[in-house]
Copies of this chain bind each other. A is one copy, B any other.
Amino acid sequence: MPSSEMNKQELSAELEQVLREYNNFKARNLDLDMSRGKPSEGQIQAALGLLDAFNSKSEYKTESGINTLNYGCPDGLPECKALFADILGIDASKIFVGGNSSLNLMFDYILQCYALGASETSKPWSLQGEVKFLCPCPGYDRHFGIAEYLGIKMIPVKITETGPDMDEVEALVKDPSVKGMFCVPKYSNPTGVTYSDETVKRLAAMETADDFRIIWDNAYCIHDLFGREDTLLDMLTECEKAGNPNRAVEFASTSKISLSGAGVSVLAANAENLAYIKKRCAKQTIGHDKANQLRHVMYYKDIDGVKRHMKALSDIISPRFEVVLNAFESELGSLGIARWSKPNGGYFISLDVLDGTATRVYNLCKEAGVKLTNVGATFPYGKDPLDTNIRIAPTFPSIEELSTATELLVISIKIAALEKYINA
């Protein structure tokens, strides 16, 4: 067992032993992928009924007379808004229903702020010189991808057990060139952290530029695991209470509820933001796919239907998380060479190995046939300054594959740690 208290000889002997185990893995020609937060085959099969829920025999006009198969109803079916209102615990009047991708809704909203301004009266971000976004880290690479694409400077902010470090955030947003912030407030990607009530209230109340916007990506709003459940304050309400009603725009989708490739997304905002966004959408599209909205409404019927489905998914996902967490605990628990999150929901485990060894661990795994999320992906510009964080995505592989991959990962962590101690 690697330990900082071993002498060089002991460390070398230990390394030799672990390398033997590693080479045994290499000989197996593995080809496993733990890199992306993708649902497994079982999760997809649990939702196949969705494909039958709306068929040629179904009533395709809603009670309110909307023909779901024709043009019209650009902001979404009332029935679909109602379902999402229950999922998010907000009023349906705040909801806009999009296509299959909440990332798409986010990108379009940020681009609207960038090219046309965050409100009717504010100057486009693109005309305000250098603008910046706060990025709680480790965080979600696709958020960072949007900012990088638009040339928005990203400022990393430390994420703690209660959400982003609010002292740091409050100091940084005083700079009027800071125009926004990415937040995954529940079961955060990848740390699993859920923002505390105090964090949410401070985010809602802090002093910022008028055209500062929080991208409230509530991607894992009802994605509990292990029968546990974190709670999160409603950000839109808190912003209203704090006198900053336009501060946050919320996003969610069924990509990790129903089908990743064929779900439904939503945006939620207060009246002024929503009107401003709908004004753009009215020029952008005649409306999103209402057949798929109705398909979801008919399949789930109501929030109880969604919750039953999430329970079934938890039964598939929780054991996968346990495989990883149990292996980490038993193999690394007492060694002091790694720390990891133990989330109550979401899609990821965030793993911190010894500083300066994450890339080595990634490469060791890769050479033995296990693909991890790129090191650095959880940081702006793909650069982890301490080379320490690895995002583990346990959902996609089978239990057996996951077990094998985690064994290899543990061995790789040990090798990298031993090498670091030896070269110290």
Contact = CB atoms under 8 A, between A and B. Distances in A.
Interface string A370-385: 0000000000000000
Contacts of A9: none
A101 B49 CA distance: 26
A44 B67 CA distance: 10
A194 interface: no
Given A54-B51, A103-B284, A283-B145, A69 B289 contact: no
Interface stretch (A184-192, A254-262, A358-366): A254-262
B288 A101 contact: yes
Interface in A190-238: none
Interface residues of A, number: 55
Contacts of A391: none
Contacts of A260: 69-71, 286
A35 to B, nearest CB: 12
A38 B69 CA distance: 11
* Copy total for this chain: 2
Interface string A38-69: 11000010011101101110101000000111
Contacts of A70: 38-39, 44, 259-261
A17 interface: no
A287 interface: yes
Contacts of A284: 103-104, 107-108, 146
Given A56-B48, A115-B114, A261 B107 contact: no
B67 A56 contact: no
A283 B68 contact: no
Given A99-B289, A100-B99, A288-B99, A38 B71 contact: yes
Nearest to A124: B126
A111 interface: yes
Contact of A285 (B107, B259, B286): B107
A280 interface: yes
A31 to B, nearest CB: 14
Given A38-B72, A104-B284, A289-B289, 5 more contacts: A49-B56, A68-B262, A100-B288, A103-B284, A114-B115
8 contacts: A51-B58, A69-B260, A69-B261, A71-B260, A103-B286, A116-B150, A142-B286, A261-B291
